[in-house]
Chain A
Amino acid sequence: MSIDHRAGAHGERSVGNTAGSSDLAPTREQLAAMSHAELDMLGARLDDTEVVVLSNPPPPGSIAEKRAERQVALCFGLATLFAFAFVIVFWGAGWFLPDWEYEVGGSAFGTLFTPLLGLTMGSALAFLGIGIVLWAKKLMPHEVATQGRHGGASDPVDAQTAGGTIMAGFARTGLARHNIVRRSLLGAAGALGLLAIVPLGGLIKDPNRGRELVETAWDEGIRLLRDDGTPIRPSDMQPGSLETVFPAVEGGNRQADAATMLIRLRREQVEAVEAPPGQEDFGWEDYLAFSKICTHAGCPVSLYEQETGRILCPCHQSQFDVTRGASPAFGPAARALPQLPIAVDEEGFFVARSDYPEPVGPSFWNREKVEEG
């Protein structure tokens, strides 16, 4: 590609003067006689800018220009067509086109309705964009402008007078003299700042206050309920099954930390159980209950593999061995899932014997500390 410098651009270029080249300034009559393009170039020269033309568009009336025009017009035309197609699909559905209502096993048009809207709108925008880019590429000159770097500090007179303008303006406000106005304004500004900061306070919570992170709604005698609120008898579940249970308190099945897995082991698994020390009596016969919240990142661990007795967390593939107190057997989780001590009440329904012995879910910075407190 050849770079052709515009004739004359170099010679008239003035270097280094911030104020522009006064020797270039034309008279009023000269200005009136100049065309738009000439005025544009004059402005650039006065700004110490040089425009280098890389390539010119095809000459007017040439075959190349006609072809480029047709391409751009075709793109704009297609954009118009697609925009109309969008309107037709949108308003036509249920009028002269079939209705688009979603239904199981629905019509082909119902399936295509949304994609058609996306396709027509997307195509209209895309062809408009392609047309604009083609227009710029094929029908406009390609230029590069360079501008000389201006000198450093402002003229001392300019700097001093500008400073004077600001200081005199301040003096005219009288703020230095009217103490009461100044102070009350400062007070108002400070109060407004406080107003902006105060809502942030709601986001800050003392993690050492309260036992929210340590305790769940489970407590002695609280029944284990299914999601639909029904209690569970030991005869309800088959060996090798799992049920997600919630505490029998108001809104228990919406509490993020209370979700618990009630698992009934198969006979051969019961024999293989190695409960961790202190948790030997947490289960009830062949039933065990563990927190459903992963100790790694807090995902619900509900992929229970009843044959291997492993609970898999879908987020990071941590695995917990049910027969060994849900201790981690694989993956990033470092602690066992907390076990809920369970029993059966007089009416024959499962109840909790206490809350979890430790905080459920992932570790947090002061976990050990709040656990003791």
Chain B
Amino acid sequence: MTLSKPESGAARRRRRRLRRKLSRAAALLATLIVTGGLYAAMAPGSVAEDAADSNAVEAGRELYEQSCITCHGSNLEGVSDRGPSLIGVGEASVFFQVSTGRMPLARQGEQAFRGPVTFTDDEIDQLMAYIQANGGGPTLPSGDLRDGELAAGGELFRLNCASCHNFAGRGGALSSGKNAPNLSEASDLQMYAAMLSGPSNMPVFGDNQLTPEEKRAIINYVQTLDESTDPGGLGIGRAGPVPEGVVIWLLGMGVLLIGVFWIGSKA
């Protein structure tokens, strides 16, 4: 805190007047931007954009028929014992599954695991457009996905996510060989898409359950976890008390035993 010097009443008044002028100008600017934005959003899209969209859908359909059709069926209806229906899953689900390399599935198993990504970003966009055009579903958000209150994100993470993903986002085991993945590799958009679509065994967190602001707060918290240091020393994977116990039992007790033997041995 700094101590302000006593100033004359005239100077204070001058500054107040200047501030009032500035705030009026800002309000005018904001109104103009909002009006313009609303117009742009409401006005019918140009023909060129529509054509680009339908091109993307068409390209997505071709990719789908090469890589996905075997398990998800020729009309996205799914194939029993192979893959679920994709009608209504939305682009969020496609983005999550394909951009993390979970799809196309390498082999049938208990769960799809993160792997090398098969498609380029453009191809992923095309696939998303194709699935979205057939049945709709949750769409991807835009803007800064870390724009949320860190502390609130921590609360929400511990309440909704930590039971499976571990309090430090390091993942954990589920039943029958499945697991909740480590979140350190996940991007902001992938996390958001996962919450929206509930991939595999993860529950869905719709926008009425966790608002977009709450989702952003959670993402901010999870990504901050990765940047935060371990002030207590070695993090040991931050996986909780089990590895910490193993380290202290094997290493700590080992060192103590060696010490005891050394003290007790004859010179």
Contacts and interface: CB of A to CB of B under 8 A. Distances in A.
Given A55-B267, A241-B206, A243-B209, A319 B175 contact: yes
Nearest to B176: A308
Contacts of B205: 238, 241
B204 A240 contact: yes
Interface in B157-212: 159-160, 163-164, 172, 174-176, 178, 180, 198, 200-206, 208-209
B8 interface: no
A111 B229 contact: yes
Contact of B200 (A237, A302, A307): A307
A157 B209 CA distance: 91
B207 to A, nearest CB: 9
Given A102-B231, A111-B231, A306 B201 contact: yes
Contacts of A335: none
A363 interface: no
A362 interface: no
B153 to A, nearest CB: 12
Contacts, number: 92
Nearest to B232: A114
Contact of A240 (B160, B174, B203): B203
A236 interface: yes
Contacts of A300: 163
B266 interface: yes
B231 A113 contact: yes
Interface residues of A, number: 43
A316 to B, nearest CB: 12
A114 B231 CA distance: 6
A305 B201 contact: yes
Interface in A228-260: 233, 235-244
Given A303-B174, A305-B175, A310-B175, A242 B206 contact: no
Contacts of B200: 307
A110 interface: yes
Contacts of A55: 267
B262 interface: yes
A133 B163 contact: no
9 contacts: A133-B262, A238-B205, A238-B206, A240-B203, A241-B204, A242-B203, A243-B209, A306-B202, A306-B203
A104 B175 contact: no
B227 A307 contact: no
B203 A241 contact: yes
A238 B209 contact: yes
A314 B163 CA distance: 8
Main secondary structure of the interface of B (DSSP, over half): loop
Contacts of B160: 244
Contacts of B263: 133
Interface string A83-107: 0000000000000000000101110
B198 A241 contact: yes
Interface in A291-322: 300, 302-308, 310, 312, 314, 317, 319
Contacts of A310: 175
A237 B228 contact: no
A319 B178 CA distance: 13
B204 A235 contact: no
A238 B198 contact: yes
A353 interface: no
Contacts of B203: 240-242, 304, 306
Contacts of B233: 114-115, 118
A302 B208 contact: no
B224 interface: yes
Nearest to B85: A268
Contacts of B206: 236-238, 241
A137 interface: yes
B164 to A, nearest CB: 5
B144 interface: no
A308 B231 contact: no
B166 to A, nearest CB: 10
A305 B178 contact: yes
B184 to A, nearest CB: 15
B230 interface: yes
Given A1-B266, A305-B201, A319-B175, A236 B228 contact: no
A358 interface: no
A325 B212 CA distance: 33
A319 B205 CA distance: 22
Interface string B122-136: 000000000000000
Contacts of B229: 102, 105-106, 110-111
Given A114-B231, A241-B204, A312-B174, A227 B159 contact: yes
A138 interface: yes
A284 interface: no
